[in-house]
Structure 1
Amino acid sequence: MLIGDVARHSGVSTRMLRHYDALGLVRPTGRTAGGYRAYSAEDVRKIFHVESLRSLGLSLKQIGRALEDPAFTPSDLVGDIIRRTEDRLAQEQELLERLRAIDALAPTDWQGVLRIVELMRQLNSTSAAHRQQAVLGRPEDLPVPADLLAGAVLTETDPHVAGALRWALARSGGDGVATLQAGLHSEDAGIRRRAVLAIVEMPEAPAAAAALTGALGDPDTTVRRHAALALGRQGVAAAMPILVNMVVEGPNDVDAGEVLGMLSLDPGCADRIMTALVDELAAPTADSATRIRLTQALVEIEGTTAQEVLRRLAHDDDGAVALVASALAGIREERPLQEPADEHSRKMGAR
């Protein structure tokens, strides 16, 4: 088969076939009487082998080694190609995100494009001070896409810069929750924590409540607790079990107790909270410190049942628990009555 016929059947140009011949990759086994290259069926198969390896990203030098060395093992080479391909895809994904961020702002001139690119460069600076200044010191007439800020939030490890980013994101006028919600599915617990902290500061954003509700089942305790506190403040009863557990275990028990008090303005929820707290007080594993925290949480709960439990605890066998319960029972008796649940709900809805 002459070179032109091979080119038509294989899709490889005659120029590339001559190049393969010059490199020694695929040399035609014969020549015609007129000196033209004549390819055998085996030569054509070899051409297809070369093209297949090229499609995997191998260089012609690597292909030559693979075809000529019987002892050649492809595993290391393929692994190296995978790593280089992943790096290239990551770079292209970063470029795509930058282009989308610029396109979202619809700059009217190249000066606007350059300002956005400079902001992106500063957000990627190795200096935390420069990253923070990029957020707090940006011109008022330079809006920042919410998704760009959300992406920066997920990767920011400096607490001061992260706080500035969350502040800017909450005031960006955009959403960004979709990007943050994707962060909640990361295998990295640190990314999930940063995502939930940002969503907590965007309570009015679309999909924020749904994202936080999903975070209640997160395997990371910190993520669950942040979500529970935020949802509890919004009156979501599903947060109650985690809030009770926070009182039992100690971290943020005061905050959890206050949020349980807010939830208890709903009489139905108050009964469930009281049942959970009383059960924990009676648990055989509850030590003195745990029972004191549970007793302190009772003072926040609306209804007469909490007052009755406090009075009983004032005579508890544990002297420390009895002392705390006695003091808190007195505080409750002096505290003015809370507004009815329906009136509270009406006011919350009007905000």
Structure 2
Amino acid sequence: MSAFVWIAVVSLAAWVWLLLCQGFFWRTDVRLPRAGEPERWPSVCVVVPARDEAAVLPDSLPSLLAQDYPGRAEVFLVDDGSTDGTGDLARELARRCGGLPLTVASPGEPPAGWTGKLWAVRHGVALARAREPEYLLLTDADIAHAPDSLRALVAAAGAGGFDVVSQMARLRVESVWERLVVPAFVYFFAQLYPFRRIARPGARTAAAAGGCVLVRAGAAERARIPDAIRHAVIDDVALARAVKGGGGHIWLGLADRVDSVRPYPRLHDLWRMVSRSAYAQLRHNPLLLLGTVLGLALVYLVPPLALLVGLVAGDAVTAAAGGLAWLVMAGTYGPMLRYYRQPLWLAPLLPFTAFLYLLMTVDSAVQHHRGRGAAWKGRTYARPDAVTEEG
């Protein structure tokens, strides 16, 4: 057998392993557990970091203020140095819409060693702790919540004994590029962090989705959130690891009625979203980057190439291995496409999307080494080991 036949067979074996042994990551039935109402509804403070979010705030903030929550709840929006009137707009929306009490505050520029978002979260959490809440809901300014979202999150956390309950908001899929790239983004995330393993006590897998994270206030304090993760670019995963590392019980699943209203109409917009943190995910390690590129090529690019080469060369084994691997790949992608209400004919295009992600990851490393890595809304963050530790 030629070397390429062996590569095709290894790729097929990798897909069989992913199908059966990677926590059934491809299934999309991990949803917020239904729970009965508690005897007493605990108090909750909602913290919303916001930087230049005036374009999306009218579609998101009113949904938070309109939460149908039986207990005590209030919202803290932290304006992180916005230049588009985000803070004033938030106050106007609160006056117009009513609902939960809203406090708008600004912490000023973040000091060295802090990302802007986590500095804003720190300020919001400090304000919230003065109210002595039992839970904190950390949610982004582009996330719209159904009226019963907070109620369902708190009920699930209490019934399941979870210290963190996080839902991966359904991202927008309207433009051509959003349809091609967004479902794959969530699919790849679930492949890295299988949701079923996250909730399993004793399992090392830990992750959360930053758009919607309900955390028990006591657990956050024990884990020193957000101070312990102040330089994290991928702050949601870092938060989950910190809480779980301290013995906390966490849960992550797909959302049904929590939606991102932020548009990514062009490939450039999606490219920036992915590339700003891709190399940070690899801990800025060139060897991990090389392994990731080779792994993406073996798992996602080899199957269609092997099928094509096998058919052209009349090599039945190569064609069969490539075709079967591509079929398994498309089959595991189908549930995510259905979750996003997209046509299943997009499933065979996953190798092309994976190639885009490969290029985004390489570009993330290139931008990092040019000093422009992890750039977002006018700020560029240093790698963690370049940050001087504070007390």
**Is the TM value for this pair above 0.5?**
no
More strand by percentage: 2
TM-score by length of 1: 0.29
Bigger share in helix: 1
Report which of the two structures shows the higher radius of gyration computed on alpha carbons. 1
TM-score by length of 2: 0.27
